[in-house]
Amino acid sequence: MYNELYIYSIRKDTWTKVDIPGPPPRRCAHQAVVVPQGGGQLWVFGGEFASPDGEQFYHYKDLWVLHLATKTWEQIRSTGGPSGRSGHRMVAWKRQLILFGGFHESTRDYIYYSDVYTFSLDTFLWSKLSPSGSGPTPRSGCLMAVTPQGSIAIYGGYSKQRVKKDVDKGTQHSDMFLLKPEEGGEGKWTWTRINPSGVKPTPRSGFSVAVAPNHQILVFGGVCDEEEEESLEGSFFSDLYIYDAAKSRWFTAQLKGPKSDKRKRRRGKVEEHEGATEQEDGRTGAPEPLEVIKEVVAEDGTVVTIKQVLAPSGLRAPPKAEDSAVEASSTGQEPCPRSNAMLAVKHGLLYVYGGMFEAGDRQVTLSDLYCLDLHKMEEWRTLVEMDPKSQEWLEETDSEEDSSSDEEGAEGGDEDQEEDSSEDSAEEGADPQHPEVAPGEQYEEYLSRTEQYWLKLARNHVGPDAKEKKVLKVAHAMAKTFVDDAVQDIAQAKH
């Protein structure tokens, strides 16, 4: 957990860590809102803290302000505010902060919220609202944004319910509401459920939200958890949706691609993209989503395969829908699928930073940075690349496929030396124990010759209780990485 503050300079294209005395304690899943008052202020509420060993876990209900002009932190102590929570949403509305939802979890139970609070930036007082009408059910991680008409939009989110002892069922919401201030009624609000037209995001949670200069609401990425009896698998997204509040309509954002040499920029399975474009040009039936496969290499040599599902070409905003749509993936610079990224819009550019995705029982934390010109809508531009070797792999402590050797290694046990040597071999691709790649040998030939070796290695790596399907996947990934590294070494040696 961090309580660090970083500032990204758009002009210098650099990140700077800013050390200001007396910051809020370390946390995640909080909310932060910038307002222009007092020369610029950053308001932070709530969130959660968990110690690395899992012994400590709690939710915050504190409120802090960073005065940007003087670069000072201040804790604002005001009674009557929301209870401790994470995953809530908070927006600036006129001279107030408005907060909705979230959840609180303890060792025995959990609760999701649908309450609404306002905080006055003039009086520094909290008030709990009691809107009329039927509002959203309790949830966390939803969209919350102010519309040009002065209402507050709420969309989607996540909640879970206990269906039987020790069994919870998660729900990814896809309903939408407006919280409207009543005319003439100071502090009185009304909930209204709406059903916008157009193509709304597929079910997901952990998506990111920003507001464009034309007041359209942008929704990026997220994850759709597919729950089975004893497992949870997530499909991650990198698509971009636009909600036009004035028209009450959803759009899928389609990128036009760079103006020159659109087709010449080749990467990966370019045939898939060309096939998709042909389908767009001459399709007769309903368009189908396009799957794009990407690979990211882990520290231990595992290749994580990321399946990106691109929405079928449809409505694009703000450009006209008739324009030829070439997916952003054709440039090879788009953000990979992820959840919990950070979004911001500045000078007409949409910035996407970091986030995470899961690979089996691991979480990959990202630190890359991209931007997209919202006026041109041509292609993503990479500002800070994703470096697989610097990614942090966080083991899930409650995973059923926990490997005791992994735990001992993490705690400095007897497995340290073995774990270190395997990591070195994966990074260097030069462990003499691995079967060598013959000159000119293709990956498929190499694998058929050495598969049993890699299966044994993978089984040791993922643990004896892992499913055969996972063992096979890891084995093939490790072999592929070793072959690729060997080929690269040979090429470098020639130069």
Determine how β-strand 197-198 pairs with β-strand 249-252: parallel
pLDDT band (50, 70, 90) for residue 401: very low
Read off the DSSP letter of residue 194.
Answer: E
The region that residue 230 occupies, defined by phi over 0 for left and psi between -120 and 50 for alpha, beta otherwise, is alpha
* Residue spans of alpha helices (H) in 77-223: none
Residue 143's Cα: distance from chain center in Å? 14
Mean pLDDT (whole number) for 157-186: 89
277 or 177: which carries more pLDDT confidence?
Answer: 177
Q: Which of 87-101, 112-126, 250-264, 287-301 has the lowest mean pLDDT?
A: 287-301
**CATH code of the domain made up of 1-195:** 2.120.10.80
Helix axis angle, 468-494 to 416-428, nearest 10°: 50
Domain ranges of the chain: 1-195, 209-256+334-389, 443-493
Maximum separation of any 2 CA atoms in the chain, in Å: 81
* β-sheet bridge partners, residue 67: 41, 72
Whole-number mean pLDDT of the chain?
79
Provide CB contacts within 8 A for 2, sequence distance 6+.
26, 28
Strands (E) across 81-149 are located at 89-93, 96-105, 110-120, 126-128, 143-146
pLDDT band (50, 70, 90) for residue 60: very high
* Phi, psi of 158, deg, nearest 5: -140, 145
Provide CB contacts within 8 A for 458, sequence distance 6+.
471, 472, 474, 475, 478
Dist CA 238 CA 114 (whole Å): 28
Placement of tokens 């505010």 in the chain: 81
Question: Would the pLDDT of 261 be above 80?
Answer: no
437 or 53: which carries more pLDDT confidence?
Answer: 437
- What pLDDT was estimated at residue 442? 85
279 or 101: which carries more pLDDT confidence?
Answer: 101
Q: Say if residues 315 and 251 touch (Cβ distance below 8 Å).
A: yes
Question: Would the pLDDT of 116 be above 80?
Answer: yes
- What pLDDT was estimated at residue 168? 84
pTM listed for this prediction: 0.68
Smallest Cα–Cα separation from 300: which of 359, 354, 385, 237? 359
Question: Would the pLDDT of 283 be above 80?
Answer: no
Residue 327's Cα: distance from chain center in Å? 20
Dist CA 5 CA 15 (whole Å): 10
Question: Would the pLDDT of 299 be above 50?
Answer: no
Residue 181: is the preceding peptide bond cis (ω within 30°)? no
Mean pLDDT (whole number) for 16-45: 96
Element (H, E) at 274: helix 270-282
Determine how β-strand 362-373 pairs with β-strand 349-359: antiparallel
C-alpha pair distances (Å), 364 with each of 269, 277, 394: 24, 32, 7
